[in-house]
Amino acid sequence: MTSIVAPIFVRSADAVLPQIAEAVKQGADMIELRCDEANHETIEAILTRPEARCTPIIVTVRAKAEGGLFSGNETDRLDLILHACRLKPDYVDVEFDTWRENPDFPAQAVPLLAKDATDPSGRPKLILSTHDFLSRPADLQQRLTAMAEIPSACLIKAAYHAKNLIDALEAFGLYEELPQTIRKPLVIIAMGEAGLITRILAAKYNAAFTFAVPAGSATTAPGQPTITELIRTYRFRSQVRNSPVYGVIGWPVSHSISPMIHNAGFQSAGCPGVYVPLPIEPEYEAFFSAVTALRGLRDFNLRGASVTIPHKAHAARYLENAGGVLDETSARIGVINTLYFPSDGTVGGTNSDWYGAIEAMRAATGWNLTDLAFKRVAVLGAGGAARAMVAGLASLGATVVVYNRTLKRAQELAYEFNGKIGHVSAALLNEFAGTNCSVIINCTPAGMFPNVKTIPVDDMTAINSSTVVFDTVYNPRRTRFLDLSARQGAQTIEGLEMLVRQAVIQFEGFTGKTAPLGVMRVAAEAALARE
Ligand code: NAP
């Protein structure tokens, strides 16, 4: 079983004991006491207290050169580590370079350490670790192998900064290869936003442990999740080696609430798997390399991905190059937000945005698809969201007017569809006051956090009790545009409904099971409320 280790910076014994209790309460299986700023007495005061020994303890004293805070000289630091060893914590973590560069230290430490992982003496087991806070070391595999050859090392750990997802995936490659030669428990962590996936999927790869902080505590390394995120959002306890993985591909992607929505759905529907953030740099080459690397890992088992800005066009290009076939509307839109990777090695994909929007409208109004064919719809904006909306509505036979600040862009969008699959015209946004459309869809970011006072139009007199107003902006849930429209008597539809319903379409494509819409909506609401 992969343990969750909660790192705690030690400042005083009295402060640490409640922190240990809280971390254990939140789900930590082990505590790492970061004793960089502690002295002999403080360490002793903690390790001799039964309350501190309710869970396995790792003691670490890191020098500044190792990314720590210890400010004294090296002799004093090594003396502090030896002192901690005599107090018999469960583990001590020592940097490989410290072990190699101070020959007297191993000579003094070995008699105080467990001989191996099965030693029953109660002496601490040695975690030998290597850190690189700048980049992925080119010789990572050799370093890990050399560390494993130290007889006293019971557990081998490497942590390095991942500049991108490809750097992070190296950790999984090593987890797949090294156990054939190294027969010691391993922990390989990529630090930074791109490395989060190595912390989340540690249990899938049977790592000895992963680090996570209690909610509200300071992290000890970049990219650490909270214990609750790991257990609740990322289904840490149910991960196994062949767990399918899904994710959201974007740049940036850390703000995405899709992991909360999909993982809640998997949990509720009893589907195996975990949905993770997949940050991939903006260019197509980066997209192609990262997706190829993800699919190339033997055990990763990537089964599907949501795709967001700026990769929706890249996803369509990737699909085409891989010989995948798009449905008619997605092909017309030209960009997709969903990729499927079935086990037969093929690639599929679709654009679930437009259908999620239509489903949100149908659910709110009770219309069927034929009813939509008789509507006049004003689409505000002419960007990516508007394009998906126009393609979907036009393919259903609705009459669409695209209102945009930049008339040329609206005209180009209208020209692409008008007469080919429906009736689409273009107008300047400031002509909206004269509209005779009964359905208004805001596809501009106006009103989106932090610009919550903005509305997309400057005259709302055309909106009345026979109008349906749909705002695709979902943060905040109730935009000012929706509130003002409701005040004029219009029926209003929130963007959150579209977000959840496009996720439902993806979920059903990923798993082949009916999506738990209500659970996914509650998860989306909760995630937005936390922002
Ligand atoms: P985009 O490609 O950047 O297009 C933005 C469009 O909005 C452009 O036509 C732009 O006009 C117009 N615009 C920008 N700021 C404006 C303002 N202050 N007032 C009036 N018009 C403005 O963006 P997108 O990808 O289409 O996304 C637009 C919005 O759709 C997002 O902000 C998001 O809230 C929403 N969305 C929601 C969902 C969902 O699931 N609910 C899914 C996708 C998108 P110009 O052409 O003149 O620059």
* Structural contact between residues 398 and 369, judged by C-beta atoms closer than 8 angstroms: no
Active site residues: 131, 157, 312, 353
If 0-12 CB within 10 Å is exposed, 13-18 middle and 19+ buried, where does residue 399 land? middle
**Token pair for 219:** 């992290």
Give the span between the Cα atoms of 26 and 9, in whole angstroms: 17
Domain that holds residue 482: 365-493
Radius of gyration of the CA atoms of the chain, in A:
28
In a shared domain, residues 344 and 392 = no
Q: Residue 117's CB: how many other CB atoms inside 10 A? A: 12
Residue 419 — pLDDT band, cuts 50, 70, 90? confident
Give the span between the Cα atoms of 26 and 327, in whole angstroms: 46
State residue 369's pLDDT score: 93
Give the span between the Cα atoms of 510 and 492, in whole angstroms: 31
Phi, psi for 356 (deg, rounded to 5): -60, -40
State residue 113's pLDDT score: 98
Question: Across residues 22-49, what is the average pLDDT?
Answer: 97
Q: How would you list the strands of the sheet with 209-211, edge to edge?
A: 186-191, 153-161, 125-132, 91-95, 57-60, 30-34, 3-9, 209-211
In a shared domain, residues 313 and 385 = no
Place of tokens 């997949």: 278
State residue 180's pLDDT score: 85
411 lines ligand 1 (CB under 6 A): no
Residue 63 in any domain: the answer is yes
CA of 381 to the centre of ligand 1 (A): 6
State residue 357's pLDDT score: 97
State residue 422's pLDDT score: 86
Q: What is the pLDDT of residues 375-411, one digit of tens each?
A: 999 999 999 999 999 999 999 999 999 999 999 999 9
Give the span between the Cα atoms of 196 and 389, in whole angstroms: 34
Average pLDDT, the chain: 96
Give the span between the Cα atoms of 266 and 219, in whole angstroms: 28
State residue 309's pLDDT score: 93
In a shared domain, residues 139 and 29 = yes
State residue 449's pLDDT score: 93
State residue 462's pLDDT score: 97
Residue 218 in any domain: the answer is yes
Omega before residue 18 within 30° of 0, cis: no
pLDDT at 222 over 90: no
Write the CATH number for 405. 3.40.50.720
State residue 530's pLDDT score: 81
Place of tokens 């509650």: 522
Place of tokens 């960007």: 383
Strands 468-471 and 491-493, by their bridges, are parallel
Share of the chain above pLDDT 70, in %: 100
* Structural contact between residues 319 and 336, judged by C-beta atoms closer than 8 angstroms: yes
If 0-12 CB within 10 Å is exposed, 13-18 middle and 19+ buried, where does residue 179 land? middle
Residue 223 — pLDDT band, cuts 50, 70, 90? confident
Give the span between the Cα atoms of 444 and 454, in whole angstroms: 11
CA of 425 to the centre of ligand 1 (A): 18
Q: Residue 19's CB: how many other CB atoms inside 10 A? A: 18
Position in ligand 1 atom list of the atom nearest CA 445: 32
In a shared domain, residues 251 and 104 = no
Q: What is the pLDDT of residues 320-363, one digit of tens each?
A: 999 999 999 999 999 999 999 999 999 999 999 999 999 999 99
In a shared domain, residues 200 and 304 = no
Last residue within a domain, chosen from 210, 240, 270: 240
333 lines ligand 1 (CB under 6 A): no
Residue 357 in any domain: the answer is no
Give the span between the Cα atoms of 495 and 26, in whole angstroms: 34
Last residue within a domain, chosen from 181, 212, 240: 240
Closest residue CA from atom 13 of ligand 1? 444
* Structural contact between residues 142 and 131, judged by C-beta atoms closer than 8 angstroms: no
DSSP code of residue 399: E
SS3 readout for 320-386: HHCCCCCCHHHHHHCCCCEEECCCCCCCEEECHHHHHHHHHHHHHHCCCHHHHHCCEEEEECCCHHH
CA of 463 to the centre of ligand 1 (A): 20
In a shared domain, residues 455 and 433 = yes
pTM, entire model? 0.94
Write the CATH number for 263. 3.40.50.10860
State residue 421's pLDDT score: 86
Pocket test for ligand 1, best of 258, 355, 443, 494 (most atoms within 8 A of CB): 443
State residue 58's pLDDT score: 98
Give the span between the Cα atoms of 316 and 325, in whole angstroms: 10
455 lines ligand 1 (CB under 6 A): no
In Å, how far from its chain's centre is CA 434?
44
State residue 85's pLDDT score: 98
CB burial string 488-516: b at 16+ within 10 A, e below? eebebbbbbbbbbbbbbbbbebbbeeebb
State residue 65's pLDDT score: 87
In a shared domain, residues 333 and 285 = yes
Residue (of 166, 138, 135) closest to 296 by Cα position? 166
* Structural contact between residues 31 and 55, judged by C-beta atoms closer than 8 angstroms: yes
State residue 531's pLDDT score: 73
Q: How many domains does the chain have?
A: 3
CA of 429 to the centre of ligand 1 (A): 13
Residue 359 in any domain: the answer is no
CA of 385 to the centre of ligand 1 (A): 7
382 lines ligand 1 (CB under 6 A): yes
Give the span between the Cα atoms of 178 and 130, in whole angstroms: 16
pLDDT at 527 over 90: yes
State residue 520's pLDDT score: 98
502 lines ligand 1 (CB under 6 A): yes
456 lines ligand 1 (CB under 6 A): yes
CA of 339 to the centre of ligand 1 (A): 23
State residue 191's pLDDT score: 95
385 lines ligand 1 (CB under 6 A): yes
Residue 305 in any domain: the answer is yes
CA of 388 to the centre of ligand 1 (A): 12
Integer CA distances (angstroms), 306 to 112, 162, 295, 315, 506, in order: 51, 22, 15, 10, 7
Last residue within a domain, chosen from 240, 274, 294: 240
Question: Across residues 133-161, what is the average pLDDT?
Answer: 96
pLDDT at 9 over 80: yes
In a shared domain, residues 13 and 73 = yes
* Least confident segment among 157-166, 211-220, 434-443: 211-220
Residue 449 in any domain: the answer is yes
Residue 489 in any domain: the answer is yes
If 0-12 CB within 10 Å is exposed, 13-18 middle and 19+ buried, where does residue 60 land? buried
In a shared domain, residues 271 and 217 = no
In a shared domain, residues 17 and 126 = yes
Residue 360 in any domain: the answer is no
In a shared domain, residues 329 and 404 = no
Place of tokens 């975990």: 274
Pocket test for ligand 1, best of 336, 389, 405, 413 (most atoms within 8 A of CB): 405
Write the CATH number for 143. 3.20.20.70
State residue 46's pLDDT score: 97
**Token pair for 241:** 């080696």
Give the span between the Cα atoms of 205 and 236, in whole angstroms: 11
Q: What is the pLDDT of residues 281-322, one digit of tens each?
A: 999 999 999 999 999 999 999 999 999 999 999 999 999 999
In a shared domain, residues 396 and 427 = yes
354 lines ligand 1 (CB under 6 A): no
498 lines ligand 1 (CB under 6 A): yes
Residue 197 — pLDDT band, cuts 50, 70, 90? very high
* Structural contact between residues 208 and 187, judged by C-beta atoms closer than 8 angstroms: yes
Question: Across residues 30-55, what is the average pLDDT?
Answer: 96
